[in-house]
Amino acid sequence: MDRPENVNVSSGVLTITARKEATPIKCGTNDPRFPGGRSYTSGMLSTKNKVDFEYGRFEISAKTPLNQGTSKGLWPAFWMRPTTGGIGELDILEAVGTAKGEAFSANQISQTIHYDYVGTHPRQVTNYDLPVGTTADGFHDYAVEWAPGSITWYVDGVLTFERNLSTTSWLDQAFVKQFYIRLNMAVGGNWPGSPTADTVFPAAYQVDYVRVYKR
Whether 50 and 142 have beta carbons less than 8 Å apart is answered as no
Judge contact between 140 and 155, C-beta under 8 A.
yes
Q: Mind telling me the catalytic residues? A: 89, 94
* Contact in structure between 104 and 68 (CB atoms under 8 Å): yes
Cα separation, 71 vs 206, in Å, equals 15
Which class for 108: exposed (0-12), middle (13-18), buried (19 or more C-beta within 10 A)? middle
| Strand extents, DSSP E, the chain | 7-10, 13-25, 38-41, 44-46, 56-63, 74-82, 89-94, 108-114, 124-129, 140-147, 150-155, 158-164, 179-187, 203-213
Return the closest-CA partner of residue 62 out of 213, 189, 208, 169: 208
CA distance 162 to 20: 38
